[in-house]
Structures are given as structure tokens and as C-alpha cells.
């Protein structure tokens, strides 16, 4: 239902909940798009190759071949494949749960740059991160939560590392 409503989700645990390791990069990228179309309205292999080539280039996914199993890519490139999967849907809302955890600095910078471009283009993004510096760099509004409940909110110029830490510390039980 989320796909039908234009919602994409990049999970925190990319290896177990994100990638489909035994499928190729191409198949991983088009998986959500194919699911939205339905399995009776298959995307042609030619169209799948066009779509995957577009996103491999757009996100600088380091692979020699779109037919390579996604499990053979680095963690950062697997994360980019998951991001490509959801971008191919052109969602209205994209939920990114720890999108830069466990990836190298270069891949992290590329993903953060893409997030900013998507927001600038009008896409709504919920960015979940435990790295506070990343939250400060990449957020227009910050909601601090504990055990599923909102404990505070910051926006615009009020967002800083110290203001987030202060909010967390003030609300400790």
C-alpha cells in the first residue's frame, strides 16, 4: 500500500531488509517499480536496463555490470542501489533510516548530496539518523524522539548540535 501511495523506504539494515542479495543490481533497482506495475505487466529487460543504467550513472554506483549480483558490491554501493530502487518510483515521500551508517566517507557525501538535491526538487524526506552532526547538516526540521514518543522539535536556525543535545538532556527521565 505504501508504494501505491507514493512512499519509499530505505531500511536501516540494508543487508537483511534492503537488498535482495541473490538478484542483480538491475533487478534490485527495478524491484519496487515492477511491484507497483504488477507482475502481470512485466517491464521489458530493455526498459529495466535503461532504468538501471540511468540510476547507476545518477548515483555513481560503482559496478562494472548491472547484471552483477548486488551482494558483491560494497556497503555504500548497496545503499545507493536501494536508494535508486525508490527513486525510480519517483515517490512523494522517502523515508531514509540510517542511510549512511557503515559506509565510507565518499559514499556518505554522495548520498547526503543527493538527499539535498531531492529536497530542493520538492520531495519530502524523513531522515532518521543517530549521527547528530549529520542531522544538523541535512535537516530543515528535527524531531527528537524517545521510545516512540516525540520529546521535542527544532526548526531552521534553531537546529544545532548543542540545541539537540540540550533537548535530549532536558527531557531525560
| Average pLDDT per block of 10 residues along the chain, 173 residues long | 91 91 97 91 96 94 96 93 94 93 85 88 92 91 90 95 91 57
- Residue 172 has a pLDDT of 59
Provide CB contacts within 8 A for 63, sequence distance 6+.
Answer: 25, 56, 73, 77
- Residue 4 has a pLDDT of 87
Tell me the pTM. Answer: 0.86
Closest of 150, 149, 99 to residue 128, by C-alpha: 99
Amino acid at each position: 500500500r505504501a508504494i501505491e501511495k507514493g512512499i519509499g523506504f530505505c531500511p536501516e539494515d540494508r543487508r537483511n531488509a534492503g537488498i535482495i542479495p541473490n538478484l542483480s543490481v538491475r533487478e534490485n533497482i527495478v524491484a519496487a517499480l515492477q511491484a507497483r506495475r504488477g507482475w502481470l505487466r512485466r517491464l521489458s529487460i530493455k526498459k529495466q536496463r535503461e532504468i538501471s543504467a540511468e540510476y547507476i550513472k545518477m548515483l555513481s554506483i560503482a559496478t562494472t555490470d548491472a547484471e552483477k549480483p548486488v551482494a558483491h558490491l560494497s556497503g555504500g554501493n548497496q545503499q545507493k542501489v536501494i536508494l535508486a530502487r525508490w527513486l525510480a518510483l519517483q515517490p512523494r515521500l522517502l523515508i531514509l533510516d540510517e542511510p549512511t551508517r557503515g559506509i565510507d566517507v565518499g559514499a556518505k557525501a554522495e548520498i547526503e548530496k543527493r538527499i539535498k538535491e531531492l529536497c530542493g526538487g520538492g520531495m519530502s524526506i524523513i531522515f532518521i539518523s543517530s549521527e547528530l552532526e549529520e542531522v544538523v547538516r541535512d535537516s530543515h526540521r528535527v524531531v527528537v524522539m524517545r521510545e516512540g514518543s516525540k520529546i521535542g522539535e527544532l526548526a531552521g536556525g534553531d537546529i544545532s548540535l548543542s540545541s539537540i543535545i540540550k533537548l535530549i538532556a532536558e527531557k531525560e527521565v
